[in-house]
Structure formats: structure tokens, C-alpha cells
Structure 1
Amino acid sequence: MTKPVDGNPSSKRPALPYGRWQLEDAKARFSELARRVLSDGPQHVTVHGRDEFVVIAATEFRRLQGEQTGQALVDALQASPHRDIDLMLAPSENSPVRAVKF
């Protein structure tokens, strides 16, 4: 049995679980979606019944993205069992190094 969405008896769509939005509802009620992101956490947006998007707060996005310092790459290279191999790189023809007098 389908439930009316938002108490609208003319709606034929089934109600989604809390924290899930159909795309058209997310667009129509974006302010409410944004408030729920801040108060309840990530909100899932479905397209044709499949989760396609997750809306999160900017602070959470920055936390997940991490500080982009390159430290993760340095740590991975230092943890490599092959870190003692000397790499001989050929000089680049695209960006030649010029002599600089100090």
C-alpha cells in the first residue's frame, strides 16, 4: 500500500524512509533539505528509486576531503617496502633547468 507523501492524499508515490528524498521533492523543498542536513546529517536523494546523490554539510565535506598537503602521498612512499630503490629520472626536455648565479 502506498502512503501519501507529505499528507497529500492525491499523491500516489510511496513515502521514502527518513533521510531519503526523491529528486523532485528535494528540488521543491530544498530549504527543508538543507535544514535537515544540518540537524540530522547526510540526506540521500533518489532518482528512479536508486540512491544517486548524498547531500552533506560543507564542514563534513571538508573533513572527508582532508587537508590537501600531499602528506598522504609522502606517508605512502615512506611506508613502501621499495623505498630504498634509487630512481634515475631522465632530464625533462619540456622544462629545462637553467643555471642560476647566487
Structure 2
Amino acid sequence: MRAWQIQEAKAQLSELVRETEHSGPQAITWHGREVAVVLSMSEYRRITGTGTSLVEFMRHSPLFGAEDIEFDRDTSPTRDVQL
């Protein structure tokens, strides 16, 4: 990951974006300390999830519509809590 000083990143924003798309995430430093990372949109979407709802995820499950699945519940007694 290449590190860009903040002044350099501001002056060469187009090049920073191009490098992000071709080489991956780019770090931005301020006074020698890494303070930010620039990601491509595809990388951002990959790490933040698919964007589908839980319902859609379940509908695409190989178990969707299966009626022969049995789930056993835990029947142990609950614990006493003092309030």
C-alpha cells in the first residue's frame, strides 16, 4: 500500500484514484501518521457486505423450502436471577 502525504493527495487526486483502482488501497498520511485509506468502490462493496437483506440471503439458501429439517430446542431450565 502506497502512502501519500495529504498535500500530495490533494494535489494529485486523479492519480490517487487511478492508483487505487489499479493497485489497491492507498494510505494518506498527515505529519507522518497514517490517518485515512482510500479504497476503490468495488473493494468497499466487498468488505461492507453484499447489500442484500437477511430475507434475500435466506431465500438463496440451499435449505430454503426444505420441510424435513427439525430443530431441537434446549429444554434446560433457566437460571435464577436476583434483581
Answer yes or no: same fold by TM over 0.5: yes
State, as a whole percentage, how many aligned pairs show the same letter. Answer: 42
**1:1-44 CA distances to partner (integer Å, 9 max, x unpaired)?**
xxxxxxxxxxxxxxxxx711000100000000011001111000
Alignment of 1:1-102 (within 5 A): 19-68=2-51, 69-70=53-54, 84=74
**1:63-85 CA distances to partner (integer Å, 9 max, x unpaired)?**
100024247xxxxxxxxxxx859
Total equivalences in the alignment: 58
Greater relative contact order structure (CA < 8 Å, 6+ sep): 2
* SS in structure 2 of the partner of residue 67 of structure 1: coil
- Quick one: structure 1 residues 67 and 26, their matched pair in 2 at CA, closer, same or farther if it must change by over 3 Å? same
In the superposition, the TM-score normalised over structure 1's length comes to 0.50
In our comparison, the structure showing a higher alpha carbon Rg is: 1
Could you list the runs of 5+ residues in structure 1 that have no partner in the other structure?
1-17, 72-82, 86-102
In the superposition, the TM-score normalised over structure 2's length comes to 0.60
Could you list the runs of 5+ residues in structure 2 that have no partner in the other structure?
56-72, 76-83
What is the CA RMSD across the aligned residues, in angstroms? Answer: 2.4
Structure 1 consecutive aligned stretches of length 4 or more whose deviation exceeds 6 Å: none
